[in-house]
Structure 1
């Protein structure tokens, strides 16, 4: 007999404030365990050094995580001038130091325009970008280097927040695939003193903002309150079932990941046809090959979202990614 998958069938998105020193996958596993979820995934990893907004998709919400990977992001970062590291951040080994006390805020501001708008940057060897199936950071830690092609990204906004004690604080809004450490590294080169990322915090990813974040401590507090300090044997996990209803209230509906897409409402018989893999003759004004959100016109808010469909020629609709029934 096949083994039944473990965990709850729960759908939604948690906006986690990832702590520093923890990998995104470790944070994901912590959240998955706390919610007792059967399935979970994160949308765009943060370096262990980085903190801030990490959307965690649970259950069916994982089907729409790609739209968050493709979304614009916003960060605040602190660049330490005068020190270059092999990873371009504070977790790396120092490879060069140079005097930087002579650099003024005017010098910094004079270099920032080149990092705004459409720019070309070379991803760091310590990024998660893959080369022949291997993440670059794994190759770098093994002492290997490969030629990395420049890529174009767009910096929507780059604001200098402060400059003191040889540290440059910046607020950066950008398109997907932007490497903040590359901006900091290049800024250090432009100032001829070197620089590395001392701090990095993500404040926005697509529609999600910092005000929505919850911490692992918040989640643990809910569990502790619900279990009333339940004592268990070493190595065991307490029964946190009483906490699930409170934890679930923190989840955001799965369709919030795709609210930037247009929406259509369909009657039950057309939804059933989509779920059976049929192309339906539903007249729509959207352009061919647009992706749209699909809702059941008669269902309640909790069950109305069906998934995504692609507009076919002549306005027909074909299922692209649907919630499981």
Structure 2
């Protein structure tokens, strides 16, 4: 049974929220935190208010692995409107440029979109949470201040062209961390010389997770009760969200050493991050294995 305190419950794990359109990621986080009466919570992979879809909410100790979740690929459904550029890159902004697009054929649009598959460079949008001298870019943008941004490498693993109708382009995109879908749609518009902006965006995949494994806040709210049992059954174990990391099971002595911040020797070699389990197969956190097999603690649940 989870321990209670006036400040919240000590619960650990991840809630896979299907965020609704119109909510900021922080608002969604606070709603889930209150519903579960969690002492500590954080989200990973923020979504704009315009966007819906998978938003992992980390509870308790699970906030320590948020940075590792961010490394995973994401998948999106996106609709972009051709012929118009917005100052935010989406339909929440003001239209600042219009261009003809009616002459474009379906095949031309498909070819332009699919050409972005692979390793590309993107210039982050001004309306983003990236910081310049400690100030988020979107706050500068709201003051009509624009600063130079360096292009960054990202990878578009897959683009599925879903069609084009009445000026609307539809795509499914699988991409690496740090990819801005708004920028992708804008860049497709530039390549077609017609401008474009996002009108609908939904995150449909996050690492090995898809929307069939998520919960709407309204669904979770129905499960609320004084003992939290039904809600807690919807919490994913932190280690289940890291399927690509190798499992390493430690002895009792090694488990004690790791918990005290000491390195341990294993018989496997190779430089990589690993999931650590103690002698009772309880998840301890993330370790960093060196080429010589020595594992150092990186982010532990202790």
Find the aligned partners of 2:108 and 2:262 in 1 and give their Cα distance: 62
Find the aligned partners of 1:314 and 1:197 in 2 and give their Cα distance: 48
More displaced, 34-43 or 310-319?
Answer: 310-319
Give structure 1 stretches of 5+ with no counterpart: 227-240
Find the aligned partners of 1:146 and 1:127 in 2 and give their Cα distance: 12
Does the alignment pair 1:285 with 2:285? no
Question: Could you give the per-residue CA deviations for residues 83-135 of structure 1, whole angstroms, max 9, x where no partner exists?
Answer: 11101100001111223222221120221243110111111111112212211
SS at match of 2:54: strand
Contact 1:207 1:256 in 2 (8 A): no
CA RMSD, Structure 1 to Structure 2 (Å): 1.5
The alignment's TM-score, normalised by the length of structure 2, stands at 0.95
SS at match of 1:7: coil
Contact 1:262 1:291 in 2 (8 A): yes
Matching residue within 280, 287, 295 for 1:309 = 287
Does the alignment pair 1:108 with 2:109? yes
Question: Could you give the per-residue CA deviations for residues 219-240 of structure 1, whole angstroms, max 9, x where no partner exists?
Answer: 11222xx4xxxxxxxxxxxxxx
The alignment's TM-score, normalised by the length of structure 1, stands at 0.88
Aligned length: 298
Contact 2:81 2:196 in 1 (8 A): yes
Give matches, 1:70-149, under 5 Å. Answer: 70-149=71-150
Contact 2:255 2:279 in 1 (8 A): no
Give structure 2 stretches of 5+ with no counterpart: none
SS at match of 1:115: coil
Q: 1:7 to 1:96 in 2, by over 3 A?
A: same
Give matches, 1:246-261, under 5 Å. Answer: 246-261=230-245
Contact 2:114 2:160 in 1 (8 A): no
Contact 1:65 1:257 in 2 (8 A): no
Find the aligned partners of 2:263 and 2:114 in 1 and give their Cα distance: 49
Runs of 4+ off more than 6 Å: none
